[in-house]
Amino acid sequence: MSAERHYLGAARRETPRSLRPNAGTPSHAWARYLDVIRHGLLMIDDAGRVIVSNAPAERLLTNFLPPSRKLGARPLLRALCAGTGKPRREVFRSLRQGRDRRTAVSFEVRDQGLTLQVELNPAEEQGWIATIEDVSARKASEARADEAARQDPLTGLPNRLLLQERLSEALVRLHRNGEKCALLLVDLDRFKPVNDTLGHPIGDALLKKVADRLRSAVRPTDTVARIGGDEFIIVQAGIREASDTQALARRLVDLIGRTYMIDGHLLTIGASVGVALAPNDGDASETLLKNADLALYRAKVDGRGTYRFFEPEMDARMQARRRLELDMRQALARREFQLHYQPQMQLDGDRLIGCEALIRWKHPERGAVSPLDFIPLAEEIGLIVPIGDWVIRQACRDAMHWPAHMAVAVNVSPAQFKSDRLVETIMSALAGSGLPARRLEVEITEGVLLQENEKTLRTLHRLRELGVRVSMDDFGTGYSSLSYLRSFPFDKIKIDRSFVKDLSSKPDGDAIIRAIAGLGKSLGMTTVAEGVETPEQMQRIREEGCTDVQGYLISRPIPADDLMTFLASYPPHA
């Protein structure tokens, strides 16, 4: 009350000369002209009495007064104050400041669905001139636009912007009263193939159903947001312990993994979920998002369709990965890669008929890095394409120094098949080196045939038309090696070395090799046993009917220069 009085000052005894004090409508004839102004207009004296008001002002302001009250008394100011939603003390303080500085004071007043913009300008001698604008429509459309800007149009879920706000709010609650929360990053597995093969309308319908299931899995206090094509985030609020979140993560994986019926198609996708808990795994948005992302990455690496909670060593592992990536990116330019060659021997006549090119990386600090440690990462980040190009060109060049009957085999990764450039690269490597196509072999694993089968098969056929031979590597280790043998007429089957190892260690260890050798024979394909290390294994391989062998018994993979020496002295006991 004191603030009010202070602003209003002691009511002056003398009245303004130009206007007659009147707590109601203006009595001056000219004042009626004010009615044609679209905005509300008021003149208020320092005592808070309304001296002049136009019709729009009366119309707008009556909404703010209890029915019994008349416009013009202090209740008007009180009602306006209440409508600002701010403490009355604060409103009067700003009025006082406006008065002192002779600047306009403006505030928004809201009540019963109306929003008014009230601006008070200190009048010349005393009191205020107030303009009142009805901004309800504008505010409503702003609010709608605001909501739209925070919503994903397809699913109606909050988008990244609103998610950020909700997460910030949750973190404020965490800091203020220790209310824990969790961030769950959900990534759909196998969504892309649905979208690519059945079309976007089906993909969209599927996303909507996923959104519904996610919504149904959380409480009203949680937030589910869509932040990308098939990526969702859940902010789980007010959790007591990690098991609350674990239960939710498990529920999400289960719910998303159930089949969907869309437009007559029975669809199955999965969800990988990465979880970060606040405050344990961070108490800032960026840290939590980063850590949930690391956990999601782990969930995917661990086979998808599962959830993982963030653990600090994930961060360390990711940093090591990043360092490896950086080093690998430089390795090509720094000529740190080298090719070693491992000879293959034909059992009929014990002749060397070719070599497999195997990449070696000698890093100045890391030393020799095994292909098993860097090829998977190179595939994942696409770096295998330039590295693989180099391998093909180098192998063709090296093979030109070998006896004319010897072939060179290169390993080609799934990512290289995806890149569209493979056939051109091979053609230009052959042309550049002068190596006849029949002396080049391409080794592929099941992974190549698992992806975009049609396109891959077309590429394989084009290679075959060029005269390049195609081998199925690591045969027997995948899920459906047999069905792949039917899909393409391979020239060669390379029996994985795990079966050769089984020869001596398992009672029926020879059954598989015998079966594959028989299969190769009837399909007209060469069968190479990989990883032959001992004379006994060699003997057994011969007996089972394989046509070729490769392994340490003949030679380990050796540098190109040493290979020349090796070839010159072969066969060793001749």
DSSP state of 32: G
Which two structure tokens, joined as six digits, stand for 285?
């948005």
Helices 497-505, 535-544: axis angle to 10 degrees equals 100
* Only segment of 106-114, 179-187, 460-468, 550-558 that touches ligand C2E (CB under 6 A): 550-558
Q: How far is the CB of 532 from ligand C2E (least distance, A)?
A: 6
Choose which of 247, 539, 552, 561 interacts with ligand C2E (CB under 6 A): 552
What CA–CA distance (Å, rounded) separates 334 from 326? 12
531 binds, among ligand C2E, Mg ion, none (CB under 5 to 8 A by kind): ligand C2E
Q: Which of 242, 260, 210 lies closest to 307 in space, CA to CA? A: 242
d(CA 574, CA 568): 11
Stretch that binds ligand C2E, among 123-131, 371-379, 539-547, 565-573 (CB under 6 A): 371-379
- How many alpha carbons lie under 13 Å from residue 399 in its C-beta half-sphere? 32
- Contact yes or no for 443/390 (Cβ under 8 A): no
Figure out which of the listed residues 15, 27, 221, 370 binds ligand C2E, where binding follows CB under 6 A. 370
Stretches 63-71, 88-96, 425-433, 544-552: which one binds ligand C2E (CB under 6 A)?
Answer: 544-552
d(Cα 441, Cα 444) in Å, to the nearest integer? 10
* Burial tier of 507 (Cβ tally within 10 Å: 0-12, 13-18, 19+): exposed
One-letter amino acid at 244 equals: D
**Sequence-ordered list of residues with C-beta below 8 angstroms from that of 183, at least 6 positions apart, any chain:** 167, 233, 234, 235, 236, 275, 276, 277, 278, 288, 289, 292
Q: How far is the CB of 290 from ligand C2E (least distance, A)?
A: 31
Residue 544 makes contact with Mg ion by CB under 5 A? no
Nearer to Mg ion, 42 or 493 (CB): 493
Nearer to Mg ion, 294 or 560 (CB): 560
Amino acid identity at 434: G
Is there a contact between 399 and 406 (Cβ–Cβ < 8 Å)?
yes
Q: What is the DSSP string of 105-122?
A: EEEEEEETTEEEEEEEEE
Q: CB nearest ligand C2E: which residue? A: 551
Tell me which of 182, 248, 391, 525 binds ligand C2E, using CB under 6 A: 391
Task: Pick the closer one to ligand C2E by CB: 473 or 544.
Answer: 473
* Under 8 Å between Cβ of 307 and 250: yes
For the bound state, the minimum distance from the C-beta of residue 458 to ligand C2E, rounded and expressed in Å, comes to: 20
Instruction: State yes or no: residue 411 binds Mg ion (CB under 5 A).
Output: yes
Residue 127 binding target from Mg ion, ligand C2E, none, CB below 5 to 8 Å by type: none
CA atoms of 448 and 553, how far apart (whole Å): 29
CA distance 210 to 155: 9
392 alpha-carbon distance from chain centroid:
33
Please pick, from the candidates 443, 446, 510, 544, the single residue that binds Mg ion as defined by CB under 5 A: 443
Residue 342 binding result from ligand C2E, Mg ion, none, given CB thresholds of 5 to 8 Å by partner type: ligand C2E
- Nearest approach in angstroms of CB 356 to Mg ion is 6
Q: Does 33 sit near ligand C2E (CB under 6 A)?
A: no
Segment contacting ligand C2E (CB under 6 A): 23-31, 157-165, 286-294, 525-533? 525-533
Rounded Cα–Cα distance for residues 189 and 345 (Å): 43
Which of Mg ion, ligand C2E, none has residue 358 at its interface (CB below 5 to 8 Å by kind)?
ligand C2E
CB of 436 to ligand C2E, least distance (A): 21
Q: 141: part of which helix (H) or strand (E)?
A: helix 136-149
8 phi and psi angles, rounded to 5 deg: -70, -25
Categorise residue 178: left if φ over 0, alpha if ψ from -120 to 50, beta otherwise. left
- Binding status of residue 425 toward ligand C2E by CB under 6 A: no
Question: Binds 343, which of ligand C2E, Mg ion, none (CB < 5 to 8 A, cut-off by type)?
Answer: none
How many Cβ atoms sit within 10 Å of the Cβ of residue 84? 18
Segment interacting with Mg ion (CB under 5 A) among 210-218, 307-315, 438-446, 447-455: 438-446
CB-CB contact of 106 with 131 (8 Å): no
Asked whether the beta carbons of 520 and 490 are under 8 A apart, the reply is no
Residue 473 interacts with Mg ion (CB under 5 A): yes or no: yes
Identify which range of 291-299, 316-324, 400-408, 473-481 contacts Mg ion by CB under 5 A.
473-481
Q: Judged by CB under 6 A, which stretch of 46-54, 116-124, 169-177, 551-559 contacts ligand C2E?
A: 551-559
Answer yes or no whether residue 474 interacts with ligand C2E by CB under 6 A: yes
Query: What is the length of the chain?
Result: 574
Q: With beta carbons less than 8 A apart as the criterion, state whether 26 and 6 touch.
A: no
User: What is the size of the binding site for Mg ion (CB under 5 A)?
Assistant: 4
Which of the 8 DSSP states describes residue 15? Answer: P
Among 531, 540, 544, 548, interactor with ligand C2E by CB under 6 A: 531
Tell me how many residues contact ligand C2E (CB under 6 A).
23
Taking the complex as a whole, the smallest distance from the CB of residue 368 to ligand C2E amounts, in Å, to: 10
222 binding Mg ion? (CB under 5 A):
no
For ligand C2E, the closer CB: 73 or 450: 450
Q: Which does 391 bind (CB under 5 to 8 A by kind): ligand C2E, Mg ion, none?
A: ligand C2E
State which of residues 413, 425, 459, 471 lies at the interface with ligand C2E (CB under 6 A).
413
Which residue has 């190596």 as its token pair? 435
Please pick, from the candidates 372, 404, 568, 574, the single residue that binds ligand C2E as defined by CB under 6 A: 372
Q: Site residues (CB under 5 A) for Mg ion?
A: 411, 443, 473-474
Q: Site residues (CB under 6 A) for ligand C2E?
A: 342, 358-359, 370-372, 375, 384, 388, 391, 411, 413, 443, 473-474, 497, 531-533, 550-552, 557
